[in-house]
Amino acid sequence: MSLNGKTALVTGASRGIGRAIALRLAEDGANVAVIYAGSADKAEAVVNEITALGVNAKAYRCNVADSAAVNETVKDILVNNAGITRDGLMLRMKDEDFDAVLDTNLKGAFNMIRACYSGFIRKKSGRIINISSVSGIMGNAGQANYSASKAGVIGLTKSVARELAS
């Protein structure tokens, strides 16, 4: 599938699954916005790998949990991959660890989708790929916050698909 002329935003693209997704999209011809929250050096390394494939890439620091920051960062293809863990048994889990995981993993996906929503409708085009986890379906001991966030991403995906699929 050729993605020539399209621009993909990939959250969490400076490492791991997000990096692999960004590189694959670039191999298919997409220009890539490398969205990251952590290391600028790692993000720039991914940008260099992508541009070596003959397409454009640029790194953008963006905390996906911050809707104002997200609104400044959006395009044609959105891959919601950003995610964090703060594992611990529920009995000992701190409120801030629960909130941080839901804010990044679920609210971050919501913020990114909302920022792309109007543009996708206006263009009658756009793609949203949300990365979840089997933990969102099965649960996992010590990951009440992570499992809840990924189950939320599944529900968010289904609801937004019903709104935008046509």
Active-site residues: which are they?
146
Q: How far apart are CA 100 and CA 84, in angstroms?
A: 8
